[in-house]
Amino acid sequence: MSLYTQYKASLKAVEVEEILDLIIYRPLAFLFVKITYSINLTPDMISVAALSIGCTAGILFGFGSYTFLFIGALLYFTSNVLDCADGQIARLKKNGTKVGRIVDGFVDYIVSIFVFIGIGIGLTKQFHWHEVSLWGNSFLNWDPVLYIWAASILGAFSSAVQAFFFDFYRNKFLEAAFGRAQNIIEEIKEYEDESSRLKSEGAHIFQRFLIAIYLKYSALQLKIQKDHEENHNEQKPNPKVYYAKNRLLLRLWSYIGSTSHITLCVISALAGNMEAFLIICILPLNLLMLVLFLVQKQINKTASDIRS
């Protein structure tokens, strides 16, 4: 099997991968996987490493000085490479687990909490040191510390919502176009059974806790999907039609995915301007999400007119 074939086998599907993952993070992750393939590294081990390094990056952002921002940016970049690698090695070695899939999904969210809190603390320190001029606050004229934390919280919330909707439409694309995504109802049942199995064995408290959170997340996605289908009388579309009409749009959705946020954060940290990252998350990316949502609504209505 050629390296290119192995690389493609390590991906979910090229169409649903974020573009920055495809050109930057996935190739680096694949190189890491190939170098460490003979070592007994499990996907869970790599996920824990990604989580630890990413959280450390967030802590370093909290120190505020450029040296720590620079190191934090490098660590955050590395964390995302490893976050890509855990799924790739699981697909190549076929040694992934149900709980491992959840851990992989939660790494981004947990690391993001550390990063945005770190950004808020770091910007506050920079302001007190008179090392930063808050561009956004010049229009609002708020108390600077209040502005910093409002921007940090709103930036965190915006990035989470954006990543949620990209994940939602990516899963929908996999299911409608390829039939590869597992039905959410079936997946919820599968994880409920897994939770019951772990409970019957005793212990496994942490794993069951992760499954409980994931079930709530899946239930929210299911509710959104059902509400959407009921409101638009949506039926199962023709796969070929859905693929043709949604392929480009999904690529645009990927620009508000978690990897885009991470890359923007890394660039902002290297530039020494974390406020810029927050403003981008809150303004242009939310505007892009709104536009994509309206376009998606129209495309789904058109695609559902042609049945299987």
Q: What is the pLDDT of residues 141-170, one digit of tens each?
A: 778 899 999 999 999 999 999 998 998 898
> Element (H or E) spanning 173, and its range?
helix 144-173
Greatest mean pLDDT range, 35-44, 66-75, 121-130: 66-75
Does residue 200 fall inside a structural domain?
yes
Does residue 194 fall inside a structural domain?
yes
Q: What is the mean pLDDT of residues 101-127?
A: 90
Does residue 84 fall inside a structural domain?
yes
The yes-or-no verdict on residue 305 having pLDDT over 60 is no
- Which pLDDT belongs to residue 104? 73
Q: What is the mean pLDDT of residues 284-299?
A: 94
Task: For the chain, give the percent of residues with pLDDT over 90.
Answer: 46
**Selected residue with higher pLDDT from 115 and 239:** 115
**Counted domains in the chain:** 1
Q: What is the mean pLDDT of residues 107-132?
A: 91
- How far apart CA 308 and CA 238 sit, in angstroms, is 4
Return all residues near 75 (Cβ < 8 A) that are at least 6 apart: 53, 54, 56, 57, 60
CATH number at residue 59: 1.20.120.1760
> Residue 249 — pLDDT band, cuts 50, 70, 90?
very high
Does residue 308 fall inside a structural domain?
no
pLDDT tens-digit profile of 201-238?
Answer: 776 677 788 788 888 877 877 777 666 666 655 566 77
Residues spanned by the domain of 142: 3-303
- Report pTM: 0.85
The phi and psi torsions of 247 (rounded to 5 degrees) equal -60, -50
The phi and psi torsions of 94 (rounded to 5 degrees) equal 55, 40
- How far apart CA 88 and CA 238 sit, in angstroms, is 30
